[in-house]
Amino acid sequence: MQEKWGQEALHSTARYRPGDILQIPTMKTELEALMRLQTIDGETATLRAAIAALPKRLAALETKLAAEKAAVEQAAKALKDEEALKRRQESDLKDQQQKIAKLRDQMSNVKTNEEYRAFQHEIEFAEAEIKKIEDGELEGMERAEQLAQQRKAAESELADAMKAIEIEKEDARAESAQQQKKLGDLTKRRAKERALVSEELLRTYDRVSTSSRATGIAYAQGQRCTGCQMGIRPQMWNQIRAGEVLTCESCGRLLYYDPAREPQPEPVVEKPKRGRKAPQAGVE
Ligand SMILES: [Zn+2]
């Protein structure tokens, strides 16, 4: 697959262990490609997470919308019940009024005081019923007023939620299209970088980067692996600086050395940081 990656090199690195030399000559291009690949893989992972989060965001909005709809329906039903009650009260009121009129009519024909009192008693009773119904009507009116306000508020919230979800859906469509385009670009770039790297190195990179460590290559800087922050033994450190590709003995990541990134070119003991004990890098 790789012309510059000869069979000999493949065979010589087929059974490496952490710390073993993987390949010596002209590794820089491949390591640089791997560093870029790592950036691309990181961006891809972030993008995939964003792509997965989008439907969840919309689903949460749909749930909210459904709750707003239910609130409007509930308020409308309560109002309807209140109106039905009012109609019943009005009908009852009319019945009582008719009853009183009829009683008064009959009362004009009574002969005895006893009969008269009986009628009067019945009329008083009907009047008390009317009072009760009227009180109930007043209470009902207050309730209906409150319910109408509740319904209005619920309707307004529903309208807002519907507008919000419409905007959100439109945004999501645009965002999704953009995400898919970006994912396509990343996939292409990824393939391009991978084509620059030998299968051997890719195997190591893939194995470590798909593990919990999430990345497969790290800078070796200041005699330590920047992936896991562990120190590198002096001999390994010398080999790395001589251009050899080694894997970190602690985390298994490929170690990439770039003299330009090295603040101190000479392997000297790091100055102790204030308030912290100096880590014994590479000392065993
Ligand atoms: Zn490490």
Mean pLDDT of the chain: 86
Query: Which pLDDT score, from 0 to 100, does residue 87 have?
Result: 96
Taking the centre of ligand 1 as the mean of its atom positions, its distance from the CA of residue 89, in whole angstroms, is 83
Go through the domains of the chain in sequence order and give each one's CATH number: 2-24+198-260 (no CATH), 58-192 (1.10.287)
Taking the centre of ligand 1 as the mean of its atom positions, its distance from the CA of residue 118, in whole angstroms, is 105
| Pick from 67, 127, 119, 65: nearest CA to 97 | 127
Per-residue model confidence as pLDDT tens digits over 148-202: 999 999 999 999 989 989 998 999 899 999 999 999 999 999 999 999 999 999 9
Taking the centre of ligand 1 as the mean of its atom positions, its distance from the CA of residue 200, in whole angstroms, is 19
Query: Which pLDDT score, from 0 to 100, does residue 9 have?
Result: 38
Least confident of 39-43, 255-259, 263-267: 263-267
Query: Which pLDDT score, from 0 to 100, does residue 214 have?
Result: 87
Taking the centre of ligand 1 as the mean of its atom positions, its distance from the CA of residue 4, in whole angstroms, is 28
Taking the centre of ligand 1 as the mean of its atom positions, its distance from the CA of residue 7, in whole angstroms, is 28
Taking the centre of ligand 1 as the mean of its atom positions, its distance from the CA of residue 18, in whole angstroms, is 10
Taking the centre of ligand 1 as the mean of its atom positions, its distance from the CA of residue 262, in whole angstroms, is 17
Taking the centre of ligand 1 as the mean of its atom positions, its distance from the CA of residue 227, in whole angstroms, is 5
Confidence of residue 3 (pLDDT cuts 50, 70, 90): very low
Confidence of residue 243 (pLDDT cuts 50, 70, 90): confident
Taking the centre of ligand 1 as the mean of its atom positions, its distance from the CA of residue 213, in whole angstroms, is 10
Question: Is residue 79 over pLDDT 90?
Answer: yes
Taking the centre of ligand 1 as the mean of its atom positions, its distance from the CA of residue 228, in whole angstroms, is 4
Q: Select the more confidently predicted residue: 152 or 58.
A: 152
Least confident of 28-32, 96-100, 137-141, 258-262: 258-262
Taking the centre of ligand 1 as the mean of its atom positions, its distance from the CA of residue 93, in whole angstroms, is 89
Average pLDDT over residues 142-150: 94
Taking the centre of ligand 1 as the mean of its atom positions, its distance from the CA of residue 217, in whole angstroms, is 9
Taking the centre of ligand 1 as the mean of its atom positions, its distance from the CA of residue 256, in whole angstroms, is 11
